[in-house]
């Protein structure tokens, strides 16, 4: 399948601070001048945007590595597969005419066409790499902005379909794994303070998703009245402090209640290697302590990066593509357990 | 330690229907004429009973195999050990002056002296063996009753400290393992009907204990107006019907939802072989599906009888005696997980 083949090298090798930070992502929302924004656009408008971007990509040497996927022509399971890889957003997963993804796996950059805005351009990096991600997508934005006229206001900056994006149009986000802060019961307090920093916190699946497996996505909430660089610096500092607190929490747990940490890790491993049916929610919750186990040296052949791939691969779209057929939930639960049992039973373990 | 050495052969090889029935027990409550019953007795009364039983046991050839343990002189952990083996009752575990246990491990018979009644004599058998247990303890009762004068009324029968035992003084009980009826959600309904049969249902630890690990103790409630044999027949019939229903429930589960049964069994095994700390309550709940796994052939070297021993051996008194020291709850939880990990990791498994 094209979608699978084209995107299989999407995931980068692990980046800095990967024991706590899964990934960093910077996305820019842009719209074209004089064309109705997608939420109110008709077919003609959407086609116009789509064709303008296609022409641009063909003509710009800097964008020649971008591959094109017509999202509207994908099967539901393929769109699911792309969303589970964080390549497209839940909004674009809905599909529809003139919804297109242009992406460059080598740079982990992509342009989603006719999502909530005409263009949603982003760069996704492993570990804590906000600046690198921003530089990469900023370079793409510069090239695109030279050819296409962005809807812009002198007073507000870039105009967007939703007012929460007006200004820089930038949303920078970091996916974190914070089991130490959860186990030491500090996380509820931290979540309460996040809005005071102009930031927002979400679950693994983004907006409106629940907190699962100690994964938290933190992003800037403010897009107006600050520059991209100021916003990135604020987020970076906040994340660095959070990483230090997470490290301190893990150290204190290992110092005072090491058996509790060991218990959680080994129980998760015991269930992953033996369960016969499993929901993706439970799998999330079990894969979380396994990340801690990597750090403790319990799984000498497992890397954070490979574990991240398991988290993606056990999701419904990936499972169905791997099995080559659409499956009802019970069948998926059986296939998920079979997959996890097989990968974890093969792992070397050390005590 | 004497208590351990004297009682280590207590548990019999497995009896009939052992895939559902753990054990059968018949006990007789008796009191001596003209001596105040234990709840209101003073030291002199208790001593008098105690000495009368000691003399009797020394003089009767039929009772010469009985060993004697002075419960009042035992350490708390030893009394706990005896109660966990179902050799003494929770009441006798409290200890005190002139509380004595006479027991014959070969016949699984015992006489508790100065429990709630002067004498509580019982026989405990593996599997469904109500009649055999009754015959054994009836023989002991005949010998004892020839020498000691029981408190008795022509109108009521045997007199006891609590009116619920008056009449036959007999309580026959069966410990069952009913995971099929629990998983098919029939158990709540069955529990409601039990009193209509003149029977009572309790948890693994008897009176006022919660239902744990799908273990249920069913016993006669009525002791008045029926003979021992009539009561035993009624209980036996009820248990036989229940065993059939449990077998049908297991068959239906394996037919329609075999993956659910397999999942529960293998998850339990996965946790037992990997957890680092465990409460006895959780251990109960995990050992329950392992019993089902024996039947399914997953653990070729494990027998119901050996599993029953694990259930006893993971309890606080046994753990502390095995480790040779008294332990606070966290240490016990660690020792319990260590014990279960070690015995289950050594097991052969088959799929």
Q: At what angle do helices B228-256 and B130-147 cross, to 10 degrees?
A: 160
Q: What is the pLDDT of residue B310?
A: 92
- Give the pLDDT band (50/70/90) at residue A12: low
Which of A288, A259, A272, A275 lies closest to A351 in space, CA to CA?
A259
- B276:A262 CB<8 A: yes
A3-248: CATH topology is Creatine Kinase; Chain A, domain 2 (3.30.590)
Across residues A212-230, what is the average pLDDT?
A: 91
CB pair distance less than 8 Å for A276 and B266: yes
B41-96 residue pLDDT tens: 999 999 999 999 999 999 999 998 899 999 999 999 999 999 998 899 999 999 99
Q: Annotate B259-294 with DSSP letters as a single string.
A: HHHHHHHHHHHHHHTT-S---HHHHHHHHHHHHHHH
Query: Is B83 in contact with B89 (CB distance < 8 Å)?
Result: yes
Which strand (E) or helix (H) includes residue B101? strand B100-104
β-sheet bridge partners, residue B188: none
Task: With cut-offs at 50, 70 and 90, classify the pLDDT of residue B225.
Answer: confident
The answer to whether residue B249 scores a pLDDT higher than 90 is yes
Domain ranges in chain B with CATH number 3.30.590.10: 3-248
- Distance from CA of residue B4 to its chain's centroid? 17
**pLDDT one-digit tens code per residue, A187-217:** 999 999 999 999 999 988 777 777 888 999 9
Structure tokens belonging to residue B218: 């069913």
Min Cα separation B281/chain A (Å): 16
Give residue A304's pLDDT: 87
Phi–psi pair at A309, nearest 5 degrees:
-65, -40
Asked if the model's pLDDT at residue B265 lies above 50, the reply is yes
Distances (CA, A) of B277 to A286, A321, B320, B337: 17, 39, 15, 5
- Over chain A, what is the mean pLDDT? 92
Q: H-helix or E-strand containing A26?
A: strand A21-30
Q: Looking at residue B213, what is its pLDDT?
A: 86
Mean pLDDT value across chain B: 92
**Closest residue to A277, CB basis, from B263, B269, B334:** B263
Most B CBs within 10 Å, among A269, A274, A278, to test the B interface: A274
Confidence (pLDDT) at A14: 75
Chain A positions in Cβ-Cβ contact with residue B276 (cut-off 8 Å): 259, 262-263, 266-267
Contact A109, A121 (CB under 8 A): yes
Disruptive mutation site among A260, A264, A267, A329 for chain B (greatest number of B CBs within 10 Å)? A267
Q: Which helix (H) or strand (E) holds B55?
A: helix B43-59
Residue in B270, B276, B277 nearest the CB of A271: B270
Interface contacts (A, B; CB < 8 Å): 46
Contact call for A259 and B271, based on CB within 8 A: no
Measured between beta carbons, the chain B residues lying within 8 angstroms of A327 are none
The C-alpha angle A42, A45, A50, rounded to 5 degrees, equals 125
Q: Out of B262, B271, B277, name the one closest to residue A271 (CB).
A: B271
Q: What is the per-residue pLDDT across B286-322, written as a single tens digit (0 to 9) for each?
A: 999 999 999 899 999 999 888 988 998 999 999 999 8
SS3 (DSSP) at A28: strand
This prediction has a pTM of: 0.88
């Amino acid at each position: 399948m094209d979608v699978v083949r084209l995107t299989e090298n999407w995931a980068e090798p692990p980046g800095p601070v990967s024991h706590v930070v899964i990934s960093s992502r910077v996305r820019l929302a842009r719209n074209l001048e004089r064309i109705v924004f997608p939420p109110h656009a008709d077919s003609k408008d959407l086609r116009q945007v789509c064709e303008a971007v296609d022409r641009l990509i063909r003509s710009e040497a800097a964008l020649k590595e971008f591959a094109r996927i017509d999202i509207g022509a994908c099967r539901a399971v393929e769109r699911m597969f792309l969303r589970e890889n964080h390549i497209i957003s839940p909004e674009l997963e809905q599909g529809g005419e003139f919804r297109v993804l242009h992406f460059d796996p080598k740079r982990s950059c992509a342009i989603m066409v006719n999502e909530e805005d005409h263009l949603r351009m982003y760069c996704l990096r492993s570990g804590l790499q906000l600046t690198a991600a921003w530089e990469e997508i900023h370079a793409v934005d510069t090239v695109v902005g030279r050819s296409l006229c962005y809807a812009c206001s002198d007073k507000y900056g870039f105009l967007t379909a939703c007012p929460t994006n007006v200004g820089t149009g930038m949303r920078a986000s970091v996916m974190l794994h914070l089991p130490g802060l959860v186990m030491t019961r500090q996380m509820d307090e931290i979540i309460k303070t996040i809005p005071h920093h102009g930031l927002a916190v979400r679950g693994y699946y983004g907006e409106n998703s629940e907190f699962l497996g100690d994964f938290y996505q933190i992003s800037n909430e403010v897009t107006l009245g600050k520059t991209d660089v100021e916003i990135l610096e604020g987020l970076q500092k906040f994340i660095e402090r959070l990483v230090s607190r997470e490290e301190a929490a893990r150290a204190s747990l290992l110092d005072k209640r090491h058996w509790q940490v060991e218990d959680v890790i080994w129980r998760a491993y015991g269930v992953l290697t033996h369960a016969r049916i499993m929901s993706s929610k439970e799998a999330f919750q079990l894969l979380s302590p396994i990340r801690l186990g990597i750090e403790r040296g319990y799984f000498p052949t497992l890397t954070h990066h490979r574990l991240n791939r398991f988290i993606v691969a056990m999701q419904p779209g990936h499972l169905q593509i791997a099995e080559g057929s659409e499956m009802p939930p019970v069948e998926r639960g059986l296939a998920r357990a079979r997959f996890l049992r097989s990968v974890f039973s093969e792992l070397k373990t050390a005590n």
